[in-house]
């Protein structure tokens, strides 16, 4: 049976989860600090704190929390899965980054969105072939207009999407002692460190929105702000922690902000 201390802790964890669901993240942080001050080995509270750190992009703090969970229970499934992800990111750092000749490091983007839409294009092509093969006896498919419509929807439309996604996708992020350079297929945004007003890991107000972006804000006359998707499941950057550490080596400070509070101009901001 669960003892009274565990019951007390779980009751408060459930209340804190409600705070997070309602977007009261600061209150949730304060409540977790109070709860862990009373019961520092409360694993559920620690996991909830780690989840908040993930949402905010505070990767180093997240790792400290998971190390604490592992010290308490070295067979905890969630802790084991976390460290497996860390090991995977270590390997991705090897495959998706390289050292630049003049110093610094290049981070090669993984074209996740391009892969996804390419799969849609493949399914569309196969679907069109099957449709024309097995529907040839139906009167509707004998019409050239019907065949062309299916061809446009199932084949041409996905390929237009593939070309557009390829053209707009992130290619590399180069970090050197003098600058940070973000390259797409046809554009390059190069900012010297002294030209930057802010570099931030910006998250959504509500954790349920699951928005995390690396935001690079230069002085207005130097170019547009650039944001890069930094969510674990959707980001093109495969070695996210290493990129943050590389930036810190040269720029020293990375802020943690709520994305909406940055008031970025939607028309001029480049979102990758």
> In this structure, what CATH number is given to the domain that contains residue 180?
2.30.29.30
- In a domain? residue 208: yes
* One domain, residues 185 and 141: no
- Domain limits at 143? 112-168
The pTM of this model reads 0.80
Structural domain count, the chain: 3
Rounded Cα gap, residues 201 and 214, in angstroms: 5
The closest alpha carbon to 40, from 15, 17, 64, 75, belongs to 64
Check residue 7 and give its pLDDT: 41
- 107 in any annotated domain: no
Q: What is the pLDDT of residue 140?
A: 56
Q: Determine the Cα–Cα distance for residues 239 and 18; give it in Å rounded to an integer.
A: 32
φ, ψ for residue 139, nearest 5 deg: -60, -40
pLDDT in tens, 106-119: 999 888 777 788 88
Residues with Cβ within 8 Å of 82's Cβ and at least 6 positions away in sequence, in order, are 50, 66
13 lies in the same domain as 91: yes
* Angle, CA of 247, 259 and 93, to the nearest 5°: 30
pLDDT at 8: 41
Orientation angle between helical segments 240-251 and 77-95, nearest 10 degrees? 70
- For residue 6, what pLDDT is reported? 45
Domain match, 141 and 207 both: no
Q: For residue range 27-82, what is the model confidence (pLDDT) as tens digits?
A: 888 888 888 888 888 888 898 888 889 888 899 999 999 999 999 888 889 989 98
The domain that holds 11 is classified in CATH as 1.25.40.10
The answer to the question of residue 100 being in a domain is no
Residue 7's CB is within 10 A of a number of other CB atoms, namely 11
Query: For residue 106, is it within any domain?
Result: no
Same domain, yes or no: 27 and 82: yes
Q: Dig out the tokens for 169 from the structure.
A: 């996708």
Asked whether residue 20 falls in the same domain as residue 80, the answer is yes
Taking the chain (272 residues) in consecutive chunks of 10 residues, what is each chunk's mean pLDDT? 42 74 79 83 87 89 91 89 90 88 87 80 80 64 72 83 84 90 90 90 83 90 89 87 89 85 86 88
267 and 178 both lie in a single domain: yes
Pick from 66, 95, 124: which residue ends a domain?
Answer: 95
Q: What residues have CB less than 8 Å from 52, skipping those under 6 apart?
A: 20, 25, 28, 29, 32, 207
Residue ending a domain, choose from 48, 66, 95: 95
Q: What is the pLDDT of residue 136?
A: 58
Same domain, 138 and 226: no
The pLDDT value given to residue 138: 59
């Amino acid at each position: 049976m669960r003892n009274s201390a565990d019951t007390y802790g779980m009751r408060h964890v459930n209340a804190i989860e409600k705070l997070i669901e309602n977007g009261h993240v600061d209150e949730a942080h304060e409540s977790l600090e109070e709860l862990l001050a009373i019961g520092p080995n409360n694993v559920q509270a620690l996991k909830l704190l780690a989840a908040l750190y993930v949402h905010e992009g505070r990767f180093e703090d997240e790792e400290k929390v998971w190390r604490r969970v592992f010290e308490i229970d070295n067979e905890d499934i969630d802790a084991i899965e976390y460290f497996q992800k860390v090991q995977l990111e270590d390997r991705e750092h090897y495959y998706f980054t390289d050292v630049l000749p003049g110093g610094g490091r290049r981070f090669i983007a993984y074209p996740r969105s391009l892969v996804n839409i390419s799969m849609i294009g493949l399914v569309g092509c196969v679907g069109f072939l099957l449709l024309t093969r097995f529907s040839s006896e139906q009167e509707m498919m004998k019409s050239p207009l019907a065949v062309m419509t299916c061809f446009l929807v199932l084949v041409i439309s996905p390929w237009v999407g593939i070309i557009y996604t390829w053209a707009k996708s992130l290619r590399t992020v180069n970090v050197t002692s003098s600058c940070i350079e973000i390259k797409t297929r046809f554009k390059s945004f190069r900012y010297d460190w002294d030209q930057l007003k802010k570099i931030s890991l910006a998250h959504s107000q509500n954790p349920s929105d699951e928005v995390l972006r690396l935001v690079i804000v230069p002085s207005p006359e130097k170019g547009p702000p650039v944001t890069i998707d930094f969510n674990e499941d959707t980001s093109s950057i495969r070695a996210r922690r290493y990129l943050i550490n590389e930036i810190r080596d040269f720029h020293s400070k990375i802020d943690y902000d709520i994305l909406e509070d940055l008031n970025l101009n939607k028309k001029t901001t480049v979102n990758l």
